Structure 1
Amino acid sequence: MNTRLNPAKASRSAAVKARLENPVIDTDVHVNDYAPVLEDYIAQYGGPKLVDALRKALGGRFVTRDGAGKDWYQQSPEERAHHRTLRAPWWARVTRNTYDLATYTIPALLYERLAEQGSDYSVLFPNDVLSPAAAGSEYRQPLHRALNHFHADQYRAYADRLTPVAGIPMHNPKEAIEELEFAVNILKLKVINIPGGVRRPIPAIAEKYPAREHPEIAKHVGYIDFYGIDSPHDYDPFWAKVVELGVPVTTHYGSQGWTGRHSTSNYMFNHIGHFADGSQAFAKALFFGGVTRRFPGLRVGLLEGGADWGSHVFTHLVDRWEKRNRHAVRNYDPAAVDVDLLAALFDQHGADLLQGRAVDKATLVRDSLGISALPHSREPNADEIDDFALAGIESVDDIRARWVDPFFFGSEADDRTVAAAFNHRVHPGGVKINAIWSSDVGHWDVPEFTEPLAETWDLVEQGVISAQDFRAFTFGNPLRFYTEANPHFFDGTAVGRQLGLAA
């Protein structure tokens, strides 16, 4: 047979790309790791023991077990309900389209096929990049280091069009900074991916029920530290190092398993909206904790959750600040009630309500407002009545600078809700939200590698977004995301050549 195994195809997306005057930047491509080669790298960092730790971390990533060690598929429906065993993601990658499966696994083939996809530059997220976070503390750093080293070597020859992210553990700032510096300074990787939160034990419960003695309790009882607010650690040194090194931060943080996303039988029930919810919690922590105020150069990409949630959170931040800033919130202080006027109004208008009862001025505010008027053990201080204090919000422009400017929202190619990001008429100040084009190829929601750009252009033809929005989505906003963090990000790349940047 003379037929090529991988013939180039004339795709719909290539036809769209041929009409464009600007490059296309794909901010989210998922690739697979070829295990035998990967495990050679892991062994170099820690021998067979570290390879076993990786296999355990990968094997347990989406497998939930009951106390007897049975996974979801081994349990009966009754056992799943009894143990509340989460229905985790399943069949999550491309398989039937074998050509695409190979594309996501073989770097040279992915590089060769970018023209079919219609993109000029892709940021790669190896599917296993954050799996080491599931390993114990003894293995977490060496596994991250080995994985990042493997990915850097695999894609170095294709750096003009492809760059993999570095996975960074976030269990504590010291560990995060060490792996950040290794990834950027030694491996020369230039984008990082972090978990949007770390699950920690609640101290009061952990003291009473230590994890070693009560593992089932520890598995179910804890809280999520989103780094920016209420954290037991000060992560400012990490954010400072990120800005110093000029690194864009990304996350694919999800919320499957949270309350409301813990079906024991239905993956889709757990899946829809979970990236948006997880990333929203992380982003709000950075905002309310003042991280985006203290580090205005920080740029964060929140991927796979769409951009509509970024739109409505911005709008709601403004709405709530206008009603509950440190001055306006005094409108709701029970001490501000004019008790004499309230009593007079009861006397004048309340006969039917009172049914002969006398009004007691001493308890009238409490009796009218209920629990919201119960006295505190002390009066709250100024910071305690201003939820926007750490963020330093004095105006709507401050909210824009600390929410709209630093955050970029990864939206998939066929996501019609991206229109919300570009609908400046609904946003305070007429701003637009930073939606960035994220094809998500490599995952089940993209069964055909070459379709995403064309699917986005379909939104233009359907009137969902404008051609100007399309350009901002696929080029302008991604360009700003990377270059606002690092002005030299695209030097020497295919995008850089088209823009006339330095070699």
Structure 2
Amino acid sequence: MQSYANARVIHDADSHTMETGDWLAPYLDKDLLESLGAIYGDADTGNRILGIIDAAKERKTDPEKDAKARENIIAGYKGWAGYGAFDKDERVHALDALGFGSQLVFPTFGLGLVRRAKDEDTLYKASYALNKAQADFCSADDRLVFIAFIPLDNPARALELLETALADGAGAVLLPSNPPGKERSPGHPDYDPFWARLVEADIPFTLHIGPGTMRPPSAYMNNGRERAPDLHGGGENLRFADYMTLWYAPQMFLTHMVYDGVFQRFPDLRGAVVECGAGWVPDFLRQLDYAHKSFQRTDPYLQEMDLKPSDYIRRAMKFTPFPGEDVGIMIRDAGPDLLLFSSDYPHPEGTKDPIGKFERTMEGIDEDAKDRFYRRNYEQLMNMAPAVEAIAAE
């Protein structure tokens, strides 16, 4: 049976687990089981989610339901009901049907639970538990790339957590997009051992919607009107005004990675901004260089740079557009080397046909640029052997 990728080599830079209620519990300290052992409460929303999970679990023993869920995986069930959303064996079959060469796997609601930790010790213990759970899920297939969540609040503990994640096979790390611990720039020298270890381990960092990304100040919601539903009709996800601020935090993070010299000190450091859109990227590059030109005469730190600011970003970073954003315009504006394909599977935001949506914006874009978007930029980010070479070697 033909896969969704339809013989094109594609790597997926954004996918997720949809965690079950006790996802972290097997790996948590006993003293945290009561506060963090259950992801979903017993309110109406929590019970609805647990009901969806139970119904999805029934597929394991019901061949008819299993076959129905497999009919069209990308356009079928999403969220907790998605095929392989939390069941790692199902996820392997889902990858076969999708035809992606590999897939970065981010957590979803488990991450929100971790970020509710009220103290540093709990934060790192919960992050450890989440990473263990994610590593276990991704152990089902080499195509599933385990993304470890590493809060940078405490530089020493972040490095310790990174070492554990590397031992468990992490292929990349997820960092919050805000100033670490609300105290330091990510370019502070305290983090140099962390960046050096990523380079030594040859894995990238990622920034992703959620941890550290921004929403408008709550006062803007006081507009005399009832709050509109999110794009799924519920109450907790992204809305119009939220979308317009998604890239603020990644921009600030990357600006300081450039300004504080991190990308200069660590020229092999690599990263990606995931699920924050990418239409902003071409102008971000221009604004970095404009600011450099405007302030270089009086700023000694700018004078020390051996590249233009935009060139540090071009060397180090990749970005995932949303399905429906005009990838063709971005490629024409900023070049073919910055963008990555992503499905966001099994989140519904990824749409029922992300490839089709991207393709419709790329009329006139040559095959070389398309190949970079679908696989080669990803292979560069992950420092993978190019797929065509791997096939030829076989």
Give the structure-1-normalised TM-score. 0.61
* 1:435 corresponds to: 339
Contact persistence 2:16–2:345 (CA under 8 A): yes
The answer to whether structure 1 residue 103 and structure 2 residue 89 are counterparts is no
Give the whole-Å Cα distance in 1 for the aligned partners of 2:341 and 2:392. Answer: 19
Aligned partners of 2:172 and 2:102: how far apart in 1?
13
Match of 2:171 among 187, 190, 196: 190
**CA separation of 1:288 and 1:38: change in aligned 2, threshold 3 A:** same
Q: CA deviation at 1:496?
A: 8.0
Q: 1:114 deviation in Å?
A: 2.0
Q: What's 1:256 paired with?
A: 214
Distance 1:107 1:391, change over 3 A: farther
Partner in structure 1 of residue 301 of structure 2: 389
One-letter amino acid matched to 1:256: M
Aligned to 1:243: 199
Residue type of the alignment partner of 2:195: W
Contact 2:339 2:373 in 1 (8 A): yes
Residue of structure 2 equivalent to 1:113: 94
Match of 1:272 among 237, 243, 248: 243
Q: How far apart in 2 are the matches of 1:245 and 1:286?
A: 19
**C-alpha separation in 2, matches of 1:57 and 1:35:** 5
Partner of 2:252: 281
Structure 1 residue 468 corresponds to structure 2 residue 368: yes
For the structure 1 residues 261 and 389, does the alpha-carbon distance in structure 2 shift closer, same or farther, using more than 3 Å as the test? Answer: farther
Q: Which residue of 2 aligns with 1:446?
A: 350
Matches of 2:185 and 2:144, distance apart in 1: 30
> CA 1:456–1:262 in structure 2 vs 1: closer, same or farther (change >3 Å)?
same
TM-superposition CA deviations, 1:339-383 (whole Å, max 9, x none): xxxxxxxxxxxxxxxxxxxxxxxxxxxxxxxxxxxxxxxxxxxxx
Task: Describe the shift of the 1:470–1:391 C-alpha distance in structure 2 as closer, same or farther (beyond 3 A).
Answer: farther
Deviation digits for residues 96-141 of structure 1, max 9, x if unmatched?
6589524312112121122432312111112145332331212122
TM superposition shift of 1:191: 1.1
Among 321, 325, 350, the residue aligned to 2:296: 325
Distance, in Å, in 1 between the alignment partners of 2:11 and 2:258 is 27
TM-score of the superposed pair, with normalisation by structure 2? 0.77
Structure 1 distance, partners of 2:110, 2:159, is 17
Q: Alignment partner of 2:328: what SS?
A: helix
Say which of 298, 311, 317 aligns to 1:407.
317
Q: Tell me how far 1:226 sits from its aligned partner.
A: 4.3
Matched position secondary structure for 2:126: helix
Secondary structure of the corresponding residue to residue 251 of structure 1: strand
Distance 2:294 2:101 in 1: 46
Q: Secondary structure at the match of 1:393?
A: coil
1:124 counterpart SS class: strand
Which structure has the bigger radius of gyration? Answer: 1
SS in 1 for 2:280: helix
* Structure 2 residue 23 is the aligned partner of structure 1 residue 53: no
Question: Which residue of structure 2 aligns with residue 378 of structure 1?
Answer: none
Residue of structure 2 equivalent to 1:457: 359
- The alpha-carbon distance between structure 1 residues 111 and 96, as it changes in their structure 2 partners (threshold 3 A), is closer
Deviation string, structure 1 residues 382-415 (Cα, Å, up to 9, x no partner): xxx31x7157335xx4334312111111223432
Relative to structure 1, is the Cα distance of residues 56 and 116 closer, same or farther in structure 2, using a 3 angstrom cutoff? closer
Q: Which of 117, 122, 138 is 2:103 aligned to?
A: 122
Q: Hey, what does 2:308 align to over in structure 1?
A: 398
Letter in 1 for 2:370: F
Residues 129 and 167 of structure 1 are in contact (CA less than 8 Å); yes or no, is this contact kept in structure 2?
no
Where does residue 66 of structure 2 map in the other structure? none
Q: Distance in 2 between matches of 1:168 and 1:496?
A: 33
Runs (4+) off by over 4 Å: 55-59, 94-100, 223-226, 494-497
| Distance across 1 between alignment mates of 2:185 and 2:84 | 35
For residues 180-213 of structure 1, what are the alpha-carbon distances to aligned partners after superposition, in whole Å with 9 as ceiling and x for unaligned?
Answer: 01110x212221111112475xxxxxxxxxxxxx
Contact 1:302 1:407 (C-alpha < 8 Å) held by counterparts: yes
1:227 alignment partner in structure 2: 186
Query: Is residue 490–residue 496 contact of structure 1 (8 Å, CA) maintained in 2?
Result: yes
For each residue in 1:418-476, what CA deviation from the matched residue of structure 2 results, as whole angstroms up to 9, or x when unmatched?
334322xx55xxx555111122122231343xx2223322333x44x443322111111
**Secondary structure in 1 aligned to 2:19?**
coil
* Alignment match of 2:331 (pick from 422, 426, 448): 422
Whole-Å Cα distance in 2 between the matches of residues 261 and 478 of structure 1? 39
Structure 1 position 306 matched with structure 2 position 277:
yes
The one-letter amino acid of 1:125's match is F
Q: Quote the Cα distance in structure 1 between the aligned partners of 2:205 and 2:196.
A: 12
- Contact between 1:256 and 1:262, CA under 8 Å: does it hold in 2? no
Q: Distance in 2 between matches of 1:408 and 1:399?
A: 15
Cα distance in 2 for partners of 1:133, 1:113 equals 29
1:39 to 25, 32, 41: 25
- Following superposition, the deviation at residue 158 of structure 1 comes to 1.0
Q: Following the alignment from structure 2 to structure 1, what is the Cα–Cα distance between the partners of residues 369 and 261?
A: 30
Query: How far has the Cα of 1:55 moved from its partner?
Result: 4.9
Report the Cα offset of residue 287 of structure 1: 0.8
- Shift in CA distance, 118/188, structure 1 to aligned 2, threshold 3 Å: closer
Q: CA RMSD in A?
A: 3.2
CA distance, structure 2, for counterparts of residue 151 and residue 310 of structure 1: 30
Q: SS of the residue aligned with 2:348?
A: coil
Task: Work out the CA distance in 2 between the residues paired with 1:40 and 1:167.
Answer: 17
- Deviation of residue 95 (structure 1)? 9.9
Q: Which residue of 2 aligns with 1:479?
A: 379
Cα distance in 1 for partners of 2:345, 2:303 equals 36
Amino acid at match of 1:478: Y
For each residue in 1:227-285, what CA deviation from the matched residue of structure 2 results, as whole angstroms up to 9, or x when unmatched? 22xx6x72112111211221211111453334489525345133213332221111111
Secondary structure of the corresponding residue to residue 389 of structure 1 = helix
